[in-house]
Amino acid sequence: MTTAVTETVKLEDIEIDLLLEGLYRAHGFDFRDYSRASIKRRILALMLAEKLDTVSAFQNKVLHDAACLERFLLGLSVHATEMFRDPSFYLTFRKRVVPLLRTYPTVQIWIAGCSTGEEVYSLAILLQEERLYHKCRIYATDISQAVLRRARDGIFPLAAMRDYTVNYHKAGGVHEFSDYYTAQYDSVIFSSTLKDNVVFSEHNLATDGSFNEFQVIMCRNVMIYFNKDLQARVHNLLYGSLSMFGVFGLGNKESLKFTPRAGSYEHLNATDKLFRKVA
Q: H-type helices in the chain, by residue range? A: 3-27, 36-49, 55-64, 66-77, 87-92, 98-101, 118-129, 145-153, 161-170, 228-241
Give the structural domain span for 72.
3-77
Buried b or exposed e, range 247-276, using 16+ CB within 10 angstroms:
bbbbbeebebeebebeebbeebeeebbbbb
Q: 97 with 195, same domain? A: yes
Which residue ranges of the chain lie beneath pLDDT 50? none
Q: How far apart (Å, rounded) are the C-alpha atoms in residues 43 and 72? A: 8
53, 77, 101 - which closes a domain: 77
Question: Are 200 and 148 in the same domain?
Answer: yes
Q: Are residues 223 and 160 in the same domain?
A: yes
- pLDDT of the residue at 77: 74
Same domain, 174 and 236: yes
- Count of domains forming the chain: 2
Question: Is residue 116 located within the same domain as residue 174?
Answer: yes
Phi, psi of 266 (to 5 degrees): -110, 145
Where among 77, 98, 133 does a domain terminate?
77
pLDDT of residue 4: 65
| Residue 82 lies inside a defined structural domain of this protein | no
Secondary structure letter of residue 41 according to DSSP: H
32 and 169 both lie in a single domain: no
